[in-house]
Structure 1
Amino acid sequence: MTSNVSNLRRFRVALAESPPLWWALLYFFCLLCGYYVLRPVRDAMGASGDPATVFPRWLVDLAASAGVDLGEYTLQVLFSAVFVAMVLLQPVYGALVARFPRRVFLPLVYLVFIACLLGFYWLFDTGVSGRGAAFYVWSAVFNLFAVAVFWSFMADVFDNEHAKRLYGYIGAGGTIGALVGPAITRWLVGPLGVANLLLVSAGFLAVCLLCILRLRPWAARRERRHGVHDGEQAIGGSVLAGLRLVWQEPLLRALAVMMVFGVGVGTLLYNEQAAIVREFHPTPEAATRYYATIDWAVNGLTLVIQLFVTRWLLRRHGVAPALLLPAFAILLGYCALAASPLPLLVAVVQVATRAGEFSLAKPGRETLYTRVDRESRYKAKAVIDTVVYRGGDLTFVWVHKLLSIFGTTAVFATGVLVALGFLGGAWGVVRAQRRLPGDGLHNDAD
């Protein structure tokens, strides 16, 4: 009880000392709540064994004429389409960052997402063929770009010391949103239907826009305090500068390696889980409820860690344990699954893996971006969080398809090797970040 009171007191002190923390919490809450309203719907589509409910009729007929059952390759086709979309959109995002100031491109990104949701509302309401695949691809793009933009902006608002103290709380605000989102879906999908859930999500994104407007002065104030006067100016530079920076900078390169293998362990597990859902939860409603339950468990565990562990760990020991502990946990989980691939154990490892990523690894990585320059923060980070992320997804979704021929044990045995790669990538990030300055704004001022 004393520990809980002490944590609550520290949270109150943090809110009193840092007014932008209120808006950051609301921002991340609404962003993840809006996304998690949609996620169970997206995952149920990915797990569907009926291609006619996901893909456009012409694609189903084309595959059938070639003797291919598209239902056997649902996730592989969807992941491939997501990667292509990421590659095509990355230069567009790079152009926005390079040519427009922060006050323009941040609201513009969210306005585009709101417009897309209104478009999907019409598609679902009219029952257009192929809407499932289009929504799956769009929601994957939305998740990565919207969250990447959020954390890039937070690195403008808070410096490294504040990030270590506050990112755990901000992450907890997002986790609460991620808990509320699936609950909204479970309660409202029946009476409202899928189409109206999209309008609910759009409402949450509108609140995100308000938070951006309220946080902008705090970002500008922090930059002026560090002698930086161009924070509200366009970053400039090449549209593809992010790719160059990821290739050249040791820290960014290590983060990309860690991302690829981290995505790999998640994708292998996600695909095995989808196979279990198809067998034990065959209807769309049952699949949606199953995924919503998994999301609740993940976010509940994440919230506990964020409130009671993350802040203490980052302030006391830095990013090393925040990155290495989840990597060790994933490795142990895959070793257990290779020995005994039970469906319940798959769900348990899925919960532990995602909770470790959201509560420790993600905040740990994000604090590093407070110590790099703005071009790395917005351009290179976006490359890692979108193209590299989905490139790993695409690679391992097809690796899983190949391994599934040899059975579940082969999938998890390979997962052990991928988890070792993830651990190696995390260690590379820990070594590279030791050479960073205390605050990336000093780099901008040079």
Structure 2
Amino acid sequence: MNASAGTPHALERFRAALRESPPLFWSFLYFFCLLSGYYVLRPVREAMGASADVQAIFPPAMIEFFAARGMALKDFTLQVLFTCTFIIMLLLQPAYGWLVSRYPRRVFLPAVYGFFIATLLVFYVLFDSGVPGRGMAFFLWITVFNLFAVAVFWSFMADVYSNAEARRYYGYIGAAGTIGAILGPILTRTFVERIGIANLMLVSAGFLFACIVCLLRLRLWAVAREQERRTASGEVPMGGEILAGLKLVAREPLLRWMAVLVVMGVGVGTLLYNEQAAIVRKFYPDAQAATAYYASIDLAVNALTLTVQLLVTRWLMSRFGIAPALLIPGAAIILGYAVLSASPLPMIVAIVQVVTRSSEFCLAKPARETIYTRVGREWRYKAGAAIDTVVYRGGDLSFVWLHKLLSAFGSNVVFGAGLLIAAGMTFGAWRLLREESKLPSERAA
């Protein structure tokens, strides 16, 4: 890449891409609205998860159940929330499989977002009236929303774009999400004290309604691409089993290694996230200092992610394919965890956190999603969603409890284990690339 290429050149390339590919504008707007709507509410979720008010988080009956057995629920808040999230994912997977099997794309895509809009209206009432246990319900809902809504988005993008187009445009689409991730918290910080938490639900619902408008427009290009390439049409029900997604993951080597890569990526992120909280409590006992520390990390993550998405991702994947985008994050995380194992200081933790999160958003995620443009629709909508929901949360659940065990031996042990997991993540990326190389350039569904 030309080192002199700066932001003006990147913006000109983006404008040229918009002229070259009309659906890119609607994809850009779609992902921007989706992540804006999510990140408006994400601070509410974080506040619920970290709240000392157990009554606001858990239903009274649940608090009494744990108290009767001599357990303080506040000591296991995140572990309980993550466990319940995984159980909900298991229950929802058959429902989602039934929906995408029995109804065409023009029905189930708006239905997914319509469901989330309807539940946001319910949460508006719950928060407005201060119902006990609303925190747990909202924490579980927004986690499900983030995983399912984003998984559906990327599956739909694979209907709209070819593999070559995905390599050119997914970096730009990811940048739209990053801009939304920046705007969402700004809106929350600006308006939450003026309008209250309940009204944030309505703001997010407005963004999701815009997503429905975008996907209805993009459907026209998806239909045109399927007719041009004579691939299976999304305008007819997909059919198949409702649990086909999980069965495909168990049966197909490519999907198995995709799942391994996702689980290991979740592992390094979860161990780092939980251990970071312990280190921050030790070095930043003041709440304001801790908040400033976290805010600096979020700012750095978003800034680095957006820069790489606009200047590097498109060039890297168009010229070299997805291999560098999958392997570079693994190598960087191995190096970071090796340093943390020797010196777990807050500044080093912050640097590794920034590298870990930004490399996932700007390199690893777009690279993984391009693979789905070369497989059938059942792989995209069922197996892809299963990996991004059940498999993802299963990994999250496993590693949050693993951290509880390892943390008793100190940060060095936690980061040492993380180093091994990062190596497993890199190995999974290598095996995934071997399986991906066996696919034809554009395989008909």
**TM-score over 0.5 for the alignment?**
yes
| Residue 52 (structure 1) aligns with | 55
Please, what is the CA RMSD of the aligned residues? 1.8
| Residue 103 (structure 2) aligns with | 100
The partner residue of 1:157 within 153, 157, 160 is: 160
SS in 1 for 2:132: coil
The partner residue of 2:87 within 65, 74, 84 is: 84
| Residue 384 (structure 1) aligns with | 387
Question: Does the alignment pair 1:127 with 2:130?
Answer: yes
Q: Identify the range of structure 1 (320-329 vs 290-299) with the bigger mean alpha-carbon deviation.
A: 290-299
| Residue 264 (structure 2) aligns with | 261
SS in 1 for 2:215: helix
| Residue 366 (structure 1) aligns with | 369
Deviations 1:235-260 (A, max 9, x none): 10000111111111111111001011
SS in 2 for 1:193: helix
**Cα distance in 2 for residues equivalent to 1:287 and 1:236:** 51
Change (3 A) 1:187 1:58: same
Question: Does the alignment pair 1:215 with 2:218?
Answer: yes
| Residue 350 (structure 2) aligns with | 347
User: Which letter maps to 1:396?
Assistant: F
**Cα distance in 2 for residues equivalent to 1:229 and 1:422:** 33
Note the C-alpha offset of 1:50. Answer: 4.2
- Give unmatched runs, 5+ long, in structure 2: none
Q: Identify the range of structure 1 (1-10 vs 285-294) with the bigger mean alpha-carbon deviation.
A: 285-294
Percent identity of equivalent pairs: 62
| Residue 239 (structure 2) aligns with | 236
The partner residue of 2:141 within 113, 138, 141 is: 138
Question: Does the alignment pair 1:166 with 2:169?
Answer: yes
Normalising to structure 1: TM-score of the pair?
0.95
| Residue 313 (structure 1) aligns with | 316
Note the C-alpha offset of 1:197. Answer: 1.2
Note the C-alpha offset of 1:275. Answer: 3.3
Asked if the contact 2:66–2:72 (Cα under 8 Å) also holds between the matched residues in 1, the reply is yes
The partner residue of 1:39 within 13, 22, 42 is: 42
**Cα distance in 1 for residues equivalent to 2:437 and 2:100:** 28
Question: Does the alignment pair 1:329 with 2:336?
Answer: no
Note the C-alpha offset of 1:89. Answer: 0.2
SS in 1 for 2:230: coil
The partner residue of 1:26 within 23, 29, 38 is: 29
**Cα distance in 2 for residues equivalent to 1:193 and 1:296:** 24
Deviations 1:63-120 (A, max 9, x none): 2222212111111101001000100000000000100000000000000001111111
Asked if the contact 1:302–1:359 (Cα under 8 Å) also holds between the matched residues in 2, the reply is yes
User: Which letter maps to 1:127?
Assistant: G
Change (3 A) 1:281 1:195: farther
**Cα distance in 2 for residues equivalent to 1:287 and 1:101:** 48
SS in 2 for 1:128: coil
Asked if the contact 1:158–1:370 (Cα under 8 Å) also holds between the matched residues in 2, the reply is yes
Note the C-alpha offset of 1:60. Answer: 1.9
SS in 2 for 1:312: helix
Change (3 A) 1:344 1:57: farther
The partner residue of 2:116 within 99, 113, 118 is: 113
SS in 1 for 2:115: helix
Asked if the contact 2:253–2:435 (Cα under 8 Å) also holds between the matched residues in 1, the reply is yes
Note the C-alpha offset of 1:282. Answer: 7.4
The partner residue of 1:409 within 394, 408, 412 is: 412
Q: Identify the range of structure 1 (143-152 vs 131-140) with the bigger mean alpha-carbon deviation.
A: 131-140
Deviations 1:255-276 (A, max 9, x none): 0010111101111112123335
Change (3 A) 1:49 1:282: farther
**Cα distance in 2 for residues equivalent to 1:339 and 1:195:** 45
The partner residue of 1:275 within 278, 282, 305 is: 278
The partner residue of 1:63 within 47, 60, 66 is: 66
1:191-230 superposed matches below 5 A: 191-228=194-231, 230=233
Q: Identify the range of structure 1 (385-394 vs 340-349) with the bigger mean alpha-carbon deviation.
A: 340-349
Deviations 1:355-385 (A, max 9, x none): 0000000000000000001110110001100
**Cα distance in 2 for residues equivalent to 1:34 and 1:17:** 28
**Cα distance in 2 for residues equivalent to 1:139 and 1:282:** 29
Change (3 A) 1:229 1:332: closer
Note the C-alpha offset of 1:286. Answer: 8.6
Equivalenced residues, count = 441
| Residue 423 (structure 2) aligns with | 420
Change (3 A) 1:286 1:39: farther
Note the C-alpha offset of 1:153. Answer: 0.3
User: Which letter maps to 1:149?
Assistant: V
Q: Identify the range of structure 1 (183-192 vs 214-223) with the bigger mean alpha-carbon deviation.
A: 183-192
Note the C-alpha offset of 1:292. Answer: 5.3
Note the C-alpha offset of 1:224. Answer: 0.5
**Cα distance in 2 for residues equivalent to 1:342 and 1:137:** 32
Q: Identify the range of structure 1 (386-395 vs 176-185) with the bigger mean alpha-carbon deviation.
A: 176-185
Deviations 1:110-143 (A, max 9, x none): 0000111111111111111111111111111000
Asked if the contact 1:144–1:385 (Cα under 8 Å) also holds between the matched residues in 2, the reply is yes
